[in-house]
A and B are shown apart, each in its own frame.
Chain A
């Protein structure tokens, strides 16, 4: 009965109730959303690469090296010469290496030059290997393997020919259109930047840049695709490389050796450590966001309390009637509390709904624009605790109007103060 009264009473004041509900839903969605993004981003982040012991690039900050080599964000400050790469990969403690050559793109997706080791040794998430949905690894110079998202978004199938653009960016004016690549393989989705990468052989990268210098075609030096195959396509430099060791014990020794390598200024980072460091930097922002979201929620709940409190005046008659027919003062107290809780509960439910729908709609954009792979389901243990916290806070704050109702019921009796 009390629930029915609370429900009908709220419906009777649906104008303000709905507004309160909307603001509650938004702030609940905000706080749960930020919390969800935080977890998802961290998970997406830390599962991007695994099984790699060291990432080596030209000397730069660990964060920068991590971002361009793994996340395909930003650019390398410098390249590594092939000689240096050769020296390091032939050291006895090294089990395998994966070379990475970046700099070109295909319709907004980065092109990564590498070799067979990529498909054999690259691991992500829980040490998972790359799997082909269709086709297989590249063999020829003008063959390419696409990440799942590239194939999906651009609707490519095995056998399609694609043209690589020089440089980065969605629209590039210099296209390597004389040397198209044939799609020979498409990878399974991984939820990592691999999905958004166009993979080619290092030799392919070399081939398309023959006759180019400083990012532009040299006039009169154009080399046809067939002619290029006749030339030696040994790369002179790569952007970075991943290293797997025979024994992890050697990690720090090799890292030091690389960092102190005399012929070239290099940086070697431990992916796990670098990921954690980068995450710490983001953590400050993340904590601030949580605090802001909490304050928004608090403001909303205070707003709800204010609304309930100001409605007490117009509801004096209603409360006097309830008293007259025998309602205990505590009943009126409970009625107001239940109304507040009902509002808060609906607010939480609506908020979760709002969040789920927005996540669902934002998912593709977050993935393509920020490389964030977010699940659309925001419900986890922590979200439930936060929701419970919202209800508790609502119950606490609405003690104020409830106590007002209780005391008025006792003091005013059946008369209505005007």
Chain B
């Protein structure tokens, strides 16, 4: 392991001098201070004011979500603004959006792990947590959007008195398996990574309740060599397992559209385009969460400017891929010579939903271009703003794909527009409430940075005894 100098503590580690390895933990932190910094967030008696305020707001929106779902279930899907040609609107838009968000975490923890990108350690924990919560939000929507929720379990291949299998030809069934598998593997991956850190908190616990709670969660971790050995092996295996899932889950989600026959959906470009878009959106969400968190919880030394910069570069790269996909869609529509397909794309850009299309293009293609500038990449305000734009843009991407295609498909007699009702708008806001509620609880009760992994990429201590 390269030895970095600790003599010159600096707040800027974004130098790209290839002769020097940039430090990933700054300000002269050592193992003890990292442990202290991360554990303190969980251990302080009173959470920061900002946390309490944020949690109150998020929990209120979760409550609203509950009410909206209750209203939906008791009254019928008609409380939403969906109609005859536009049978999917906010529901599936939100589903695809949240599934997309859920891509960054596993990508960071699995793919970057396999590629030995050591900077991942600073951000992987909360990115993974974000993944789990985003997928929970995502699963909510297909869960509630069906007409007869009480029979939804029929989608699962359960033994039943009718001797009926579900229809294995349906992309919705593939979704069920793809997202379900992804959720399960991500959850296991995340939880396994948490075990050594939970053990640390257990060991530092000062009350009996915390000892028991964290003790149970730590599953008897003692940090022995044997534990570590097995832990590393399992981690590698799970990373290898999760890596294809990162690619498969959004490919399968894109099949919902790609295997249908509607113009604007029926496109072979969808799987790579969706995966790129998901990574794009996911990283933007990680940035959006990382920028304030590192500030409020005082972990700027661990989530360093270099981390942010790396993620900005990924956002820039995937943003370009997404932009390229937008352009290629137009090219294919023209090149295929299919007039219906051609109309759908002209209609996207110049029809009644042109505002949504250009919002999407502006947010997803134009705004990330500021990351060509190094100054922009190192300015947290700019990063945060772009991340917000990208999240808006990615939500609109799904809205544009779903609604413009459905609202004007083959027969002009059925064309219609779609306007969401207040129920849908509040449900979308409520899903953000749920996401942030879970995320804030995570910040409060679990270590938001993978301490053990961060320590592994820190320079070994000199002279001092290991504390």
Tell whether A and B belong to one assembly: no
